Amino acid sequence: MQGMSEREYAAHVGLSRGAIQKAKAAERLVLYPDGSINAAASDARRAETTDPSKTRKPAAPKLKPVPEAAVAAVGDTLREQGLAVPAVGGGTTFLQAKTANEVLKAQERRIRLQKLKGELIERARALALVFRLAREERDAWVNWPARSSALMAADLGVEPAAMQKVLEKHVRAHLDELAEVRPDFR
């Protein structure tokens, strides 16, 4: 056989064998005397005789754009683990993304296990606990001058009401300073 078979030529041009048979019947292919297909000459003839509007363009793969936040998260995860991070705008390789995914899954499992063991609590619960403790501490300090001023006044030999008033003024000033401190749970 001098040239290609129908199957070989179909694979060569990316068409079905049926499409090649139709082109052969329409005499758009150049054949050798043994009936095999002359690929170079047939490609040229098909290009001349084929209407470009009727040809199928190979479909471009439909890739969804990856959000920049996701790419940054992959870089952060790789950096946390001491692995190579792609340059900015250099693109993340599939292997790097897969590695970051596996690291994130392992971290998620570790956190879930720590929750089950009671080693971690939820942020809202921690905030509520800190708020409750701070309120109890503040209330204890607000009530302290009334409880202690009479004993201190007796030790110093001053008027108990005056002592309570001075203590309350200084305790409230101190509590106002403490109220400016905000816990940061980020």
- Measured CA to CA, the distance from residue 51 to residue 183 in angstroms comes to 72
pLDDT of residue 77: 76
- Measured CA to CA, the distance from residue 147 to residue 164 in angstroms comes to 9
What's the mean pLDDT when you consider all of the chain? 84
The separation between CA 130 and the C-alpha centre of its own chain, rounded to angstroms, equals: 30
Mean pLDDT along residues 117-123: 85
Q: Tokens representing 93?
A: 């390789």
The 10 Å CB-count burial string (b at 16+, else e) for 106-139 is eeeeeeeeeeeeeeeeeeeeeeeeeeeeeeeeee
pLDDT of residue 90: 59
Q: Is residue 162's pLDDT more than 80?
A: yes
Tens of pLDDT, residue by residue over 12-40, are 998 899 999 998 998 889 999 998 999 99
- Residue 84 has φ and ψ, to the nearest 5°, of -65, 135
